[in-house]
Structure 1
Amino acid sequence: MAATVVTLKMRMIPTVYAMASSSPESYFVKKTIASHQTVIFSKSYCAYCEAAKAVFKDLHKVPYVVELDQRDDGSAIQDALSAFVGRHTVPQVLIDGKYISGSDDSIEAYKSGELGKLLGIKE
């Protein structure tokens, strides 16, 4: 059986570090991403979000999770996040200030070992 290689298409989010918008929600997104190695913007009822969070649990890494549906400003934060990552869906996974992906890419990266390498986990 041939091995499958998954390459994450990470990209820095320059707008996080040079924010044009000074809204409280944009500031929250910027501060959250800068303050934590791994951040997942999620909704508590979303199966895709649960799947993305599960790979971090399997790796024994605890991401900082923002449950947008449990915040009064969650919709506005999701809009601000969308301006940064270019997607309005959840989950959105960021590691070391870089946009990683949503659920499917996170799971594939986990299965290939790429996610573990990115998090500094030695095999």
Structure 2
Amino acid sequence: MECVVKLAAQKAVVIFSKSTCCMCHAIKRLFYEQGVSPMVYELDEQINGKEMERALIRLGCTPTVPAVFVGGKFIGSANDVLTLHLDGSLKKKLKAAGALWL
């Protein structure tokens, strides 16, 4: 679990994803379209991906992917991120974390 927490804090936006997950793709695209360049960890391509996935479960990430961290804090999965985006608070969180300048 310590590994996931450290990785989540290394960049303003970190997404734990799986390369075959359509919701993961949609969430990554949402961030790219906002002008944000997230650090993405594809769990199905990581040597310790299964261990990382178990750590995400212990952190309360359900479903485990996509798991989005902004400013080192877990903000949620796809539904949570889309809700934040629609109510305008995602942009505020991104600005506060230094991921977005506009």
Q: Same fold (TM over 0.5)?
A: yes
Pick from 64, 78, 81 the counterpart of residue 56 of structure 2: 81
SS of residue matched to 1:105: helix
CA distance in structure 2 between the partners assigned to 1:42 and 1:86 by the alignment = 12
The C-alpha deviation readout for 1:15-36, integer Å capped at 9, x for no partner, is xxxxxxxxxxx23212101211
The answer to which of 61-70 and 113-122 deviates more is: 113-122
Q: How many equivalent residue pairs? A: 98
Are 1:35 and 2:13 an aligned pair? Answer: no
Report if aligned partners of 2:43, 2:50 keep a CA contact under 8 Å in 1.
Answer: yes
In our comparison, the structure showing a higher alpha carbon Rg is: 1
Are the structure 2 counterparts of residues 44 and 122 from structure 1 closer, same or farther at C-alpha, using a change threshold of 3 Å? same
Structure 2 unmatched runs, 5+: none
Are 1:57 and 2:23 an aligned pair? Answer: no
Are the structure 2 counterparts of residues 122 and 30 from structure 1 closer, same or farther at C-alpha, using a change threshold of 3 Å? closer
Normalized against structure 2, the TM-score is what?
Answer: 0.84
CA distance in structure 2 between the partners assigned to 1:106 and 1:96 by the alignment = 14
SS of residue matched to 1:119: helix
Normalized against structure 1, the TM-score is what?
Answer: 0.71
Structure 1 unmatched runs, 5+: 1-25
SS of residue matched to 1:35: coil
Q: Which runs of 4+ in 1 moved over 3 A?
A: none
